[in-house]
Every structure is written in structure tokens, then in C-alpha cells.
Amino acid sequence: DSGVTQTPKHLITATGQRVTLRCSPRSGDLSVYWYQQSLDQGLQFLIQYYNGEERAKGNILERFSAQQFPDLHSELNLSSLELGDSALYFCASSGHSGNTIYFGEGSWLTVV
């Protein structure tokens, strides 16, 4: 158990819909990272937050947004969903030093 908690574990939704994925980082970790992993694809960096502020941005679509709340949990919002958005979405967290980054179990999103 990495200590990073993600919900929901599985989600099936229709095209055009909107979903929210939730992540609770390890206790004390200030950084949260979001990644997308499609079938047979590598981990694609989406976005990072540090203590509530956006720190780095990757190939995140405009239909996607994220935020980190004062209690340090983070949410990834995916809207106007398309079939191609079906993927495993991982959240990871790290402390200030950044030398240990642990991943949650992921949220499986299926868009039908």
C-alpha cells in the first residue's frame, strides 16, 4: 500500500459526460501528480500541484482540469468525454524533497 488513495477505482460513463477523479496523497506529501495511461501506452504526465498551486503542466487537454484543495487532496475533472479518453488515470504524491514519488492504484475510466 503506497498510501496514495484514489477513487473511484472503476468508472463507466457515456461520451459527452463529465467525471471527477479524486486523489488523497500520502500523509504529509504536498505534491500531487496526475498521469494518464492508455492501453499499451506509457505514462503521460498531465499536471502537478504543490501545496495548492499548479507547479507543472504536461499534455493536458483543455477539456480536463484539476485542482488541489487546502487539505491537499486533489481532483481531476474530465469533461465532454470521448471514447479516446478511456484510460487508467494515476495520481502520485511526493514530499518536499521529491526524491520518493508513490503512485495510487489508479482509476479505470471507460467511456462508451
Partner 1 sequence: GQNIDQPTEMTATEGAIVQINCTYQTSGFNGLFWYQQHAGEAPTFLSYNVLDGLEEKGRFSSFLSRSKGYSYLLLKELQMKDSASYLCATHDDSWGKLQFGAGTQVVVTP
Among 21, 25, 31, 76, binds partner 1 (CB under 8 A): 31
**Nearest residue (CB) to partner 1, 42 versus 70:** 42
Q: Is the peptide bond before 8 cis (omega within 30 degrees of 0)?
A: yes
C-alpha cell at 70: 487546502
Query: What is the full DSSP assignment across 29-54?
Result: --EEEEEEE-TT--PEEEEEEETTEE
Q: Which is nearer to partner 1, 35 or 64 (CB)?
A: 35
By CB under 8 A, is residue 101 in contact with partner 1? yes
Q: Which is nearer to partner 1, 33 or 64 (CB)?
A: 33
Chosen residue from 25, 32, 33, 109 binding partner 1 by CB under 8 A: 33
Binding mask 63-82 for partner 1 (x = CB under 8 A): --------------------
Q: Distance (Å, rounded) from C-alpha 51 to C-alpha 95? A: 10
